[in-house]
Amino acid sequence: MKYTVWGDFAANVVCFPHIPYIPNKLPCLCGMEVVWYLFNLRNLFPIMANIDHLQFVATGKEQRNIMILMVVGLVLALVGVFLNIDNPTRIWTALLYNTFFTVGIALAATFFIAANTQGYGGWYIMFRRVMEAMSLYLPVGGILLLVVVFLGMGHIYHWLDPSLTDPASPHYDKILAGKSAYLNKPFFLGRIVLYVVAWSAFAWFLRRNSLEGDKGYNQKLYQNSKYIAAFFIVFFAVSESMASWDLFMSIQPHWYSTLWGWYNFISYFVTGMSVTYLLCAYLKTRGYLPYMTDEHFHDIGKFMFGFSIAWTYLYFSQFMLIWYSNMPEETKYYEIRNAHYPILMWFTFILNFITPFLILVTRGAKRNFKVACTLGAVIIFGHWMDFFQMSMPGALANMSHGGHEVHFSGIGLLEIGIFCFYIGLFLFVFFRNLAAAPMLPVNHPFVKESFVHHT
């Protein structure tokens, strides 16, 4: 990009009247404000002149550590499979929720990009390429999700048993027979394929337009991205709720919650924002995000804090309404968890609400890497446990169908191993895609706004 000092000075003064140290009434600029602006502008040019050459390169140590994490995870998972060879329900359910957990992180990144694109958000451009690299995990994770669902659905979803919808069968279930138009194998698999393909396609189109923009400023390209973002947001609003119904709520098909879709979304969205904070903090220490300031990290921390509160609101609302109404078809969900996983149930609440609320509520905590990164790791682990309790108790309870003995198992080597493997795979895909493009979309129309972002 080519810049002229006075041309850029004039452009910034005219285009960015919202900058805190430049009031809307330009004639009222005092001498100190002009000096302050010139000082910041002077520091901006050396960065802007070289930033388009900044590109991530993974070190041998990083690649080795990721491979070690994946291998250790795979070994632990295989040991867990061997120890639970007589319990395929636990194995496939562990694969299901771990697979979707990482897919959800990529979905959160895609949604964040789309929402900011549609809403003229400019502050996040400094780390947009980080979120693009996260979103490109969707095709990989989506394929794994399809494999797990296709191969393991018979061990997870007991509504697939044809005797439950056969009026002549002694196991006939009137409720499941009424839901069979929606809960049937062909339609179920078709929906999962649609979700994965559509989500991956939207992420790819947003990334393609972003890379095309590196060739030069193109207003039509940005407008096209807005259309893509708008269509994605509408599709996502419907599909993410349906996916949560299909993959997790249908594990206990007699039970339902009208809050379930939002509850799932907030869980993996706050996880995605926590992952974003951790990755950006790491990349900044590596020198790849020199232009990202405490202001940007503060705002990411706001999302971590705010959506932790939103998760708690839905968690309490769902629990309180079911407890208050005391209807057997609704209380079954909490009955199983309170009877067999009471510590996990309340420990998840502590990790996902009380801890981030008490610590991230302060301004300083959001700007302190050690504090915020530690809380980010706690939030990620807490919501991973939440996905466990969304799926595993109900799936294991279904083993009683058909006369099988029920073994309510806690988190063990199987779950931890699969989690480690998927985290390693996610980081492998992330770093590979991050290295495929410059760290900053220098031709984005709001790139200067992100440089001078103040919160």
pLDDT at 450: 87
**One-letter amino acid identity for 85?**
I
pLDDT at 217: 77
Mean pLDDT of 7-34: 40
Instruction: Give dist(CA 348, CA 354) in Å, integer.
Output: 10
Provide the percentage of residues in the chain whose pLDDT is more than 90. Answer: 67
Over 80: is that where the pLDDT of 399 sits? no
Mean pLDDT of 31-44: 48
Over 70: is that where the pLDDT of 271 sits? yes
Mean pLDDT of 363-386: 95
Mean pLDDT of 352-381: 94
Residues 79 and 32 in one domain: no
Over 90: is that where the pLDDT of 7 sits? no
Residues 330 and 186 in one domain: yes
SS (H, E, C) the chain: CCCCHHHHHHHHHHHCCCCCCCCCCHHHCCHHHHHHHHHHHHHHHHHHHHHHHCECCCCHHHHHHHHHHHHHHHHHHHHHHHHCCCCHHHHHHHHHHHHHHHHHHHHHHHHHHHHHHHCCCCHHHHHHHHHHHHHCCHHHHHHHHHHHHHHHHHHHCHHHCHHHHCCCCCCCCHHHHHCCCCCCHHHHHHHHHHHHHHHHHHHHHHHHHHHHHHHCCCHHHHHHHHHHHHHHHHHHHHHHHHHHHHHCHHHCCCCCCCCHHHHHHHHHHHHHHHHHHHHHHHHHHCCCCCCCCHHHHHHHHHHHHHHHHHHHHHHHHHHHHHHHHCCHHHHHHHHHHHHHCHHHHHHHHHHHHHHHHHHHCCHHHHHCHHHHHHHHHHHHHHHHHHHHHHHHHHHHHHHHCCCCCCCCCCCCHHHHHHHHHHHHHHHHHHHHHHCCCECCCCCCCCHHHHHCCCC
Mean pLDDT of 166-192: 92
Give the predicted TM-score (pTM) of the model. 0.87
Top pLDDT among 207 and 13 is at 207
Mean pLDDT of 241-258: 93
Mean pLDDT of 53-71: 92
Q: What is the extent of the structural domain holding 20?
A: 1-53
- Which residue, 13, 28, 53, sits at the end of a domain? 53
Instruction: Give dist(CA 244, CA 224) in Å, integer.
Output: 29
Residues 370 and 446 in one domain: yes
Instruction: Give dist(CA 435, CA 184) in Å, integer.
Output: 42
Residues 321 and 429 in one domain: yes
Provide the percentage of residues in the chain whose pLDDT is more than 70. Answer: 87
Mean pLDDT of 176-195: 95
Over residues 71-127, the pLDDT tens digits come to 999 999 999 999 999 899 999 999 999 999 999 999 999 999 999 999 999 999 999
Mean pLDDT of 255-279: 94
Top pLDDT among 400 and 205 is at 205
Per-residue confidence at 183, pLDDT binned at 50, 70, 90? very high
Top pLDDT among 19 and 380 is at 380
Residues 215 and 240 in one domain: yes
Residues 22 and 115 in one domain: no
Residues 12 and 139 in one domain: no
pLDDT at 36: 45
Residues 297 and 354 in one domain: yes
What is the average pLDDT score of the chain? Answer: 87
Domains in the chain: how many in total? 2
Residues 38 and 78 in one domain: no
Mean pLDDT of 301-316: 95
**One-letter amino acid identity for 188?**
F
- Which residue, 11, 35, 53, sits at the end of a domain? 53
Per-residue confidence at 328, pLDDT binned at 50, 70, 90? confident
Over 80: is that where the pLDDT of 6 sits? no
Residues 16 and 75 in one domain: no
Over 50: is that where the pLDDT of 193 sits? yes
pLDDT at 329: 78
Top pLDDT among 409 and 188 is at 188
Residues 112 and 259 in one domain: yes
Strand pairing partners for 438? 55
pLDDT at 330: 84
Residues 367 and 296 in one domain: yes
